[in-house]
Amino acid sequence: MSHSRSFMKALVIALNPAVDVEWLVDDVLWEEKNNILRERRWAGGKGVNVARWLQHLGSIPRLLIPLGGPTGREMKACLRQEKIPASTVSLQDATRANIIVTTQRRGQLRFNPLGPSLSNSEWKEVVRHADGLLDKTTAMVLSGSLPRGLPDRVYSELIQLAKSRQVKTLLDCDGAPFAKAIAAAPFLVKPNRHELSQWIGQNLRTDKAARNAASTLAQRTHSWVLLSLGAQGGLLLNATENCAWKGSVPSVDVANTIGAGDAMLAAATRQIILQSPPDQWLRWSLAAGTALTMSSAGKLPPLSAIHKLLPQIRISPIAL
């Protein structure tokens, strides 16, 4: 199989996408008017970010996405403009818009609505589309929160559907949907420290605690865990195969952290599809995530920035 064909094998399911709206303000004044100096809008949400990154890295993903209302139409227009291939399911409720307030003095505030409510018939339509796309898929990415109206088990159901077609599943979510999906044993799970803490029920303040919790998660799924640790890099491990790596990243000037985990997941997905060795999953994911932090929210860094970072990522095997 040629690489050009393998690039066409990623299905990304984004069940609760959003139009991201960034307001740049000088500062936030409570109970006073806050003048918006600049507004930017783009197609957002974790799954959309993963699809965008897969395309940026040279893949041709297929995005499966439910959309409704004026924001849904805006999202469709954004995806067409970016030439991201998408299969859409029409919703009666409107797609959400996330508000990002970026201050020039004190960082960011983020406000995320819960999203639309999906009916049973709308969910069945999503599953029908997914079932039809899996025959052309090597890896399926499930990323982001669930919209209202869907039970916590739906990611687990999609993982089981993918497994029945011998499709690898990569998962990035949190809370109850995360816990339910773990029971279906996805091929790779990508939590950050907070999401892993939430799942295991304890504060993971030390690297050892984080490594132990990631190992417990890998034992539960019998497969891979990619743990993002921000400026401390990340871990990739598989307790069943008794292998693990720690990745360290160089110090950079951080402009934004929104979407760094999505960049990591997309880079790992691409390397998995290309059948690269696992240490390269970690190297590429950390290079992409670090490059993202050097760019403004909603902006993709040049590929040259990622390639420049690759040799600066230190990968070391560690004991479980």
How does residue 257 score in pLDDT terms, banded at 50, 70 and 90?
confident
Write out pLDDT tens, residues 281-300: 999 999 999 999 999 877 89
Q: What is the mean pLDDT of the chain?
A: 93
The counts of H helices and E strands in the chain are: 11, 14
DSSP string, 284-299: HHHHHHHHHHTS-TT-
pLDDT band of 38, cuts 50, 70, 90? very high
**CA separation for the pair 234, 210 (Å, rounded):** 10
Of 230, 223, 246, nearest in space to 195 by CA: 230
For the segment(s) 3-16+44-95+118-317, the CATH number from 3.40.605.10, 3.10.150.10, 3.30.450.20, 3.40.1190.20 is: 3.40.1190.20
Residue range 237-247, pLDDT digits in tens: 999 999 999 99
pLDDT in tens, 62-119: 999 999 999 999 999 999 999 999 999 999 999 999 999 999 877 789 899 999 999 9
What is the spatial distance between Cα 138 and Cα 7, in angstroms, rounded to a whole number? 10
Mean local confidence (pLDDT), 169-185: 96
Residue 129's SS3 state is helix
Q: Three-class SS string for 216-273?
A: HHHHHHCCEEEEECHHHCEEEEECCCCEEEEEECCCCCCCCCCCHHHHHHHHHHHHHH
Residue 254 in tokens: 């951080």
pLDDT at 248: 96
Neighbour-count burial of 257, counting CB atoms closer than 10 A to its CB (0-12 exposed, 13-18 middle, 19+ buried): middle
Residue 35 has a pLDDT of 94
Task: Judge contact between 304 and 258, C-beta under 8 A.
Answer: no
pLDDT at 298: 77
